[in-house]
Amino acid sequence: MAEAERIIGTPDTPEAAGAGPERFPEERQAGAQPSGEELSATDGTADAERPRGRRKLPVLFAVAVFAYLLDLVSKTIVVAKLEHHAPVSVIGDALKFEAIRNPGAAFGVGAAFTVIFTCIAAVVIFVIARLARKLYSVPWAIALGLLLGGALGNLTDRIFRSPSPFQGAVVDFISVAHFSVFNLADSAICCGGVLIVLLSFRGLDPDGTLHKD
């Protein structure tokens, strides 16, 4: 008998195998805890998809409003005090204030395409508004706020100033020697653009995600 059992083999029983009864999938799902790897994978996915705090819309709007009002007030003063007057020297010939009507883009580029630049400014504002829906980064909020405020400042000139709606000339007044004449809206746009380039090189996305590669 012992020899027959050796040849045929004995049935697999929990006692013979030295293990407890096999758990059905339902029992495993109800009672077993996920492994460490499963927890790490789940947590990693949740962290990647979970927004990092609240959206930074207040920062974007605050920076945009500040840049826009600063540009608007400065242009109002320039039109009232400097237009049709001699330039005001700030730092010798290196920096002067003089009122100039610019029908083109920033720094006097493209004077023959006023309507096109008006449309471009409107598109930039629309894109920033859509991007703001996933904005969780303060540096990106500042950069986009500068772009938005500057674009709105120059767009206001193009819509409401002479010679006609949507073809108005932008008021420029900051004259730098050997460079060009510009305004605070142009400066805000340039600063916002430079900041966006720096953030992109750092690998920081508008949603706050930082890429290490």
User: Among this protein's residues, is 186 annotated catalytic?
Assistant: yes
User: Among this protein's residues, is 93 annotated catalytic?
Assistant: no
Q: ∠ CA(187), CA(193), CA(199), 5° rounding?
A: 135
What is the token pair recorded at 46?
A: 């949740």
- The catalytic residue among 12, 172, 207, 213 is 172
* CB contact at 8 A, 138 and 146: no
- The catalytic residue among 186, 205, 207, 213 is 186
What is the token pair recorded at 68?
A: 């826009």
Burial (CB count <10 Å: 0-12, 13-18, 19+), residue 204: middle
User: Tokens 């990106």 label which residue?
Assistant: 140
Q: Quick one: DSSP state of residue 133?
A: G
HSE-CB for 34 with a 13 A CA cutoff: 8
> What's the start-to-end Cα distance of the chain, in Å?
69
Q: Specify the amino acid at residue 123.
A: V
List of residues 6+ apart from 134 with CB closer than 8 A? 55, 206, 207
Determine how many CB atoms are found less than 10 A away from the CB of residue 46.
Answer: 9
Residues identified as active-site: 172, 186
